[in-house]
Amino acid sequence: MKNNRFRKLALAGISLTLAGTLLAACSGGNETDDPNNRRTLRIGTMYGSSQDEQYFRQQYTDLFEFTHGNIDIEIVPAIDWTETQFEEQTPETQQPDPLEKVKEIMTGPNPVDVMILNDSSMLSTMVQENLLKPLDPLMKEDEIDTAEYVPAVIEGIKDLGDGQNLYALAPTYSPSALFYNKKMFSNLGITPPTNGMTWEELFNLARQLKTGEGQDATFGFTFNQWGYSNGYYDLTSFAAPLQLKMFDEKGETMTINTPQWKNVWTTYTDLFKEKVLPSQEDLVFEQPATDGPYRYNPYEQQPFFRGKVAMVIGSYSMISEIDTFNRNVDKFENMEALDWDVVSVPTFAEAPGISGYIYMNTLAAINSQAPNPDDAWEFVKFMNGKEWGKLRARSSYELPSLIEYAKPKEGMSYNMEAFTTTKPIPQQNLAVYTKLYQERPNLNLIDSLANTQYNKVVNGEMSVEEALAEFETKGNELLQKIKLTPNGPIEGVNDDVYGGGGGPILYDSATSAAVAVG
């Protein structure tokens, strides 16, 4: 009896020792488990509230807290939705400035340790103002090789900062690619597109693919899955990598009437005149009868899936849509499975390798004034490490930044390089214009005026030269009025500016679609 009791006690002791060793290995050792060494890591976000904090924690912090049991996470939104959602809104109401709000939580009396940026255009300004800690020395010390990450992501983040160093890391990114229908090319005996094409090469290829007339017509290319042009918005998104400016850095003089702008407007509008790009009328399809059984078909309004268009720019998530379509194609009348592949989005010869169709949605940076810099780096490192990357590889919408996990979806084969070669638009010169738009919200009226002038070209009322010349004259007059009345209604401004031309087109800094300034 005594021997059995001794054996049980000995086995229990060994088990406890092994359990303690495993827990220490998982949690980082005694330092992490020491109750006297408990600390709080404050993570800043651009937007949020206590009501939607749970989603952010599930996505980014729960796993870190589980493996770092001695660290508590506090989420600090720069702009709390609940503080303004019930306030009365008027034309004169000033919206909170995201950059200034971010600065407040980074430089206030209780600064955050980590800042998660959903707007990549802010990175350059924050670097210039010394708000962020460089990560290169930390990565070198921990022997983290940047070669393990998608080069376009690493170089893209550098370009978004100061062009030299890393001030943030992104665990995932949202790329796009040029999807193409192999059968449409083979039927016409035309060589399919390749990685690294220029826009001019793509448009020439699209011209060869235009066949038929009326309902039987097929087209070479569309800028989006739905095929319809969004007018001036699509034009400026297409031209964004050229970083052309509509007015000077003082917001006083138009710079729109130039050979570069003329070339962009001419190139884009000619694509519709030549029917290289289909119009809305070209893509009209016969609606199914409403009487009797009806099966919902989410693809009937997407010309690429209908075989009406040979090439289209699509986000990474389009792969899952094609997979679902091919698995269920026998349920849809007059449709056939797609034999497809992808190549990189074309770029301009003047800006090779730079695309307006790749987005960094979650940049993790360390505050240069972080009270807890070691834990801040531990979190950023973990968030961009292999354990977390393996989990994020399951996403249908984003790609992991680690090359090891940036692979085709299971059971599929396609040109993965198409999603890993183009870089986002550099933002170093954007700060001046961002500040201008914040100080003078009425500068959005310039975008509405641009839309009006563009429509005059599309409708055949003016040539490109005439529209740009008139835009320059009207724009200069409007800039002076905006300078005097930066916010709210401006007396003497007609409907063409306030929305008669289709409404203001806002600069989308979150997606780098430089509608207003480039």
Q: What is the pLDDT of residue 294?
A: 66
Joined tokens for residue 346: 């074309």
Evaluate whether 38-170+362-397 and 176-243+254-343 have a shared fold.
yes
The model's pLDDT over 265-291, given as tens digits with 9 standing for 90+, comes to 999 999 988 888 888 788 876 665 556
Percentage of the chain with pLDDT > 90? 57
Q: What is the pLDDT of residue 83?
A: 72
Q: What is the pLDDT of residue 501?
A: 38
Domain boundaries along the sequence of the chain: 1-27, 38-170+362-397, 176-243+254-343, 431-500
43 strand-pairing partners: 75, 114
Would you list the DSSP string of 383-435?
A: HTSHHHHHHHTT-SS-EESBGGG--PPTT----GGGGTS-BPPP-TT-HHHHH
Kindly tell me if the per-residue pLDDT of 4 is higher than 60: no
CA distances from residue 205 to 36, 194, 415 in whole angstroms, order as listed: 67, 11, 19
Q: Are 411 and 153 in contact (CB under 8 A)?
A: no
Query: Where residue 232 falls among pLDDT bands split at 50, 70, 90?
Result: confident
Kindly tell me if the per-residue pLDDT of 344 is higher than 50: yes
In the predicted model, what is the mean pLDDT of residues 488-503?
61
Q: What is the pLDDT of residue 144?
A: 95
Q: What is the pLDDT of residue 86?
A: 65
Percentage of the chain with pLDDT > 70? 83
Q: Are 332 and 299 in contact (CB under 8 A)?
A: yes
In the predicted model, what is the mean pLDDT of residues 61-71?
91
Of 31-35, 73-77, 292-296, 364-368, least confident by mean pLDDT is 31-35
Kindly tell me if the per-residue pLDDT of 112 is higher than 80: yes
Q: Write the CB contacts of 414 (distance below 8 Å, at least 6 apart in sequence).
A: 319, 340, 341, 342, 408
Tell me the pairing of strands 172-173 and 176-181.
unpaired
Say what the pTM is. Answer: 0.84
Q: Distance between CA atoms of 478 and 496, rounded to whole angstroms?
A: 12
Q: What is the pLDDT of residue 93?
A: 63
Q: Are 347 and 354 in contact (CB under 8 A)?
A: yes
Q: Distance between CA atoms of 154 and 136, rounded to whole angstroms?
A: 11
CATH fold of 176-243+254-343 reads D-Maltodextrin-Binding Protein; domain 2 (3.40.190)
Distance of CA 222 to the CA centre of its chain: 19
Q: Are 467 and 484 in contact (CB under 8 A)?
A: no
Domain 38-170+362-397 matching CATH 3.30.565.10: the answer reads no
Q: Which residues of 64-93 are buried (b: 16+ CB within 10 A; e: fewer)?
A: beeebebbebebbbbbbeeeeeeeeeeeee
Q: What is the pLDDT of residue 11?
A: 38
Compute the mean pLDDT over every residue in the chain, rounded to the nearest whole number: 84
In the predicted model, what is the mean pLDDT of residues 173-183?
96
Q: What is the pLDDT of residue 512?
A: 31
Q: What is the pLDDT of residue 90?
A: 63
Q: Distance between CA atoms of 161 and 178, rounded to whole angstroms?
A: 27
Nearest alpha carbon to residue 248 among 472, 414, 2: 472
Q: Distance between CA atoms of 50 and 247, rounded to whole angstroms?
A: 41
